[in-house]
Amino acid sequence: MVYKDCNIGSAKPNKNVLEKYPHHLIDIVSPNEVFDVSDFCKYSKKIIEITHSKNKLPIFVGGSMMYFKSLYSGLYDLPERDQEFRESLKKLQSNGNDFFLYKKLNQIDPDYATKIHKNDEVRIIRALEIYEKTGRKMSEIFSESTKNNLSDKFNIIQFCISIDRKIIHQRIKKRLIEIIEMGLIDEAKKLLINYDLDLNHPIRRAVNYKQAFEFIEKKYNYETFFDKALFATRQLAKRQTTWIRSWNKFEEIDPSKSENMINGVKKLITAL
């Protein structure tokens, strides 16, 4: 939702909803740019400070569990991206043998290389970039404690809404049909025309957009596009559930009992 003109595929709230219920982190970045977890944490901390200054409670909802985990636990002190160096690595990859960069990383940091996929170009390039800038291995960095742990500064309450998997799958299918009818394919075409989206850009890999781009590029027919988008969304929902259930502290709320849900939220807030 942070990217401008990515409205339908991200199921971004419409203007009426945003006017009635103001949101943060909506339409703050052009698709020509890349918004990553460090940006999310930076913006989020500013929002938290501003919200507290107004004597209000900031609430973070939905989204990537990995991003929330990074905000909660803190990020490692890493150098910023170096686009010129990244481009040089991509040229080496295109000129080299299969998995050239992965093999290069495996020589430098075999412990970290075993934990990522050979095709995970984003993490491979980031690890090589950090080693180039700092001389430090990712496996060594991840063995250290993070800095700027949000939980050290604020009282934080985490909760998840527990919904039966069958109902989640029904809602996912319903929403996919709706966003396609709203013009997902046309929106994806406009993004390709209006912006320079590198093949490794997050939008290119985002659920719904990835499948829409591949359909536009005639990699498969409409039925396959729909099935792939549906499967990818279900897998994302499953990963989100797995992420949050791996956390130590969270309250579970049953939305089928609205009164219990409201009381549960009130209880969590008053606990502060």
251: closest CA among 157, 155, 154, 156?
Answer: 157
Average pLDDT over residues 2-6: 94
* Number of other CB atoms surrounding residue 261 within 10 Å: 15
Q: What is the pLDDT of residue 270?
A: 67
pLDDT for residue 29? 93
Summarised one tens digit per residue, pLDDT across range 77-96 is: 777 878 888 888 888 877 77
* Domain residue ranges in the chain: 15-35+157-270, 83-142
CATH topology of domain 15-35+157-270: Helix Hairpins (1.10.287)
Mean pLDDT of the chain: 85
More confident residue, 224 or 84: 224
> pLDDT at position 258, please?
60
> What pLDDT is stored for residue 264 in this prediction?
61
Distance from C-alpha of 122 to C-alpha of 196, rounded to nearest angstrom: 18
Q: How confident is the model at residue 148 (pLDDT cuts 50, 70, 90)?
A: low
Q: What's the predicted TM-score (pTM) here?
A: 0.76
For residue 29, the cross-strand partners are: 3
Structure-block tokens of residue 145: 């404690």
Mean pLDDT of the region 7-36: 90
Query: What gap in Å lies between CA 256 and CA 96, rounded to an integer?
Result: 55
Q: Which residue has the higher pLDDT, 177 or 140?
A: 177
pLDDT of the residue at 241: 78
pLDDT for the residue 265: 63
Q: What is the mean pLDDT of residues 115-129?
A: 84
Q: What is the pLDDT of residue 146?
A: 62
| Whole-Å CA distances, 171 to 50, 55, 237 | 35, 36, 11
pLDDT recorded at residue 272: 58
Confidence grade of residue 237 (pLDDT, cut at 50, 70, 90) = confident
Q: What b-and-e string marks burial along 22-38, b requiring 16 or more CB atoms within 10 Å of the CB? A: eeebeeeeebeeebeee
CATH top-level class of 83-142: mainly alpha
- Greater confidence (88 vs 176) lies with 176
User: Rounded to the nearest 10 degrees, what angle do helices 65-73 and 222-245 cross at?
Assistant: 30
Token pair listed for 101: 């960069």
Beta strands in the chain (DSSP E): 159-161, 251-253
Cβ atoms of residues 215 and 51 within 8 Å: no
| Model confidence at 268: pLDDT above 70 | no
The SS3 of residue 175 is: helix
What is the pLDDT confidence band of residue 193, given thresholds at 50, 70 and 90? very high
Q: Which of 13-27, 73-87, 131-145, 209-223 has the highest mean pLDDT?
A: 209-223
Specify the range with the lowest mean pLDDT, choosing from 61-65, 197-201, 258-262.
258-262
DSSP string computed for 202-249 = HHHHSTTHHHHHHHHTTSS-HHHHHHHHHHHHHHHHHHHHHHHHTSSS
From the centroid of its chain, how far is CA 98?
28
Q: Helix (H, G, I), strand (E, B), or coil: what is residue 21? A: coil
Residue 181, pLDDT score: 96
Confidence of residue 230 (pLDDT cuts 50, 70, 90): very high
Amino acid at 250: F
Residue 69: name the closest of 235, 195, 201, 240 by CA.
240
